[in-house]
Structure 1
């Protein structure tokens, strides 16, 4: 039995291929059960995100062809279209791959934390569908433990590496308690939505979303109990904002120096933190000359991001050491499974001998023999029966010059340690 990981991701496949092999919530359970019907597959988990689709299985053969063929057939795509983008890992490499994925070391953004939640959700879905067992259960628990330790013991998740996250992190440096602040977000695209999520996670007091299309602004604001305004209303609401983050596609600035001056007067010069993420810029550069304005551009944030990326890369080296430790632990546990059957067989053999000798001892007691005689018979007979086969094999090993077998027997029976104790 071996662990296999098969899949494709943002590094190996373009988006038009990735989107063809995703497993959405409506088909994931059916897919798990379909895959488990394969005679080679014992247990399985499917991880499907916008950046990756991966299948993790305990499998009774070292061959990924059945899995690759299944992915193609399930999605109705020619195997020749999918196979060039697939990667596969077996055994130790598969274990290490899952741990690196779970810890964000294989992500588009190094160390991003969202992937761990996605891995946990994928495992829970597979468990609920009945497609996991002891091998994958143990593996994924190791992955979760490794991710937790890496988050605790390294700085891999401490430094923002997205523009939106960097903007919100700077805001926290200026306003230590965001719960008392109002954020004005200009635009309603992906970056602004991400900024809104980060602000919400950090407990922002209030969110206002301004956009050319008010309906889009409303849809975004409603997710965070905020309210929407049109771009034409910016000057009327600017004084309410402690934090302004702007990212539109406007070819001209949407916020000028005059509007900001008016807002500062209305605020009695209470400071405003501004981040202009847009290219070309949304906020006139002259705004930076105003007192009580902290204006950052995308270039300023890029310096923060690059510095933080270097910090994450250093932390990633520590993370790899932690991962190696957990990989070693899991592989040791996996190898120990090979001995379970042998141990069970040996115990059954010893118990059969015990029962045979016990039956003969009871018969002797029934015939009137003394307990002392019967106990001596039991001890002598059981000892001889248990030692007969091992003794014969060691004698033969000595005759054949099988030194390794004799050394293994010494390790197995702990003979030297027994002598030392006596």
Structure 2
């Protein structure tokens, strides 16, 4: 019986892993420029964390969480999203007491959601995200959005659309929820079962429904922007102004609500408009979540962040025919002739590696001709040739695989010579 990877998961093989490593390196560099620090949280958390923060009425909590009992009978959940764990870590470690505020954080996390697997949507997914805790300045909203856009643009993506909205403060949302209930109640029986429940528990999420997205009542639904109080409207205007100041184009979509309960004020999504990308166009999404830290037992602390799926990013790069500038070349490869040279080559390779030189050798007992073929398959720039004759002379032959030229190098000068080579 062959055992396969569980449905909704995948193996990332070495050639593909290079793409992931390149993306992670680029994103870490961008975060460094923006002064964001990395945070790492546990792979699993107490289930209550997500019930309290994400919301009991969300699809994530109701349908998608990998929840189980540990040996102590505690309810544990594999991490389905990144914001709640970061907020929990912020509270538990009392980062709110740190005089250096706000805390600007980034993460690379594996998430787990039990949903129907499809292209770009897996049960084990990988996200890059940022969270800023401790600032209610609308400029930080614009900075977070700009950072997300910069990540995509510096990888070469151009077919992007940024959509933003304001969900307002508690007062604005309360008025808007009331208006939505009044609007959708006459159509309640025409909506899907999920939306019928949402209408009672969290009316804003009706607007996020994919099943009823074409229902006439959706198109005529009241706009949140009409229910923003003066403070919320002013905040949203400042966010838009900052985005305009730094040249970030956007569209306002009053139906953008995001799927998690903790969002308020600014909400945004970044979408791919590349031809043939697929029906699900969202690449990243996020927003402000003032009140989340307080809900988790900390002091009143404003926050904003986003999460972007790496799998969907790779699909977007493919849709725009973007090849990442990956380095696939091995610098040096040792070809040996004879048992004595084979043994000595192991010592030499160890010595070279300790001095920072990238080198490999044959470990399958192949003849010299087959070793050269292996070097070609590895796209090696230089081959080090070692046999009994070279050992007697205390030299090694260096062959340039591009030009075919060879030179003799004294073993005593090997590290110095290879270090000066351009590879």
TM range (shorter): under 0.3
Larger relative contact order (Cα-Cα within 8 Å, sequence gap ≥ 6) = 2
TM-score, L = length of structure 1: 0.23
Larger radius of gyration between Structure 1 and Structure 2: 1
Q: Report the TM-score when normalising by structure 2.
A: 0.23
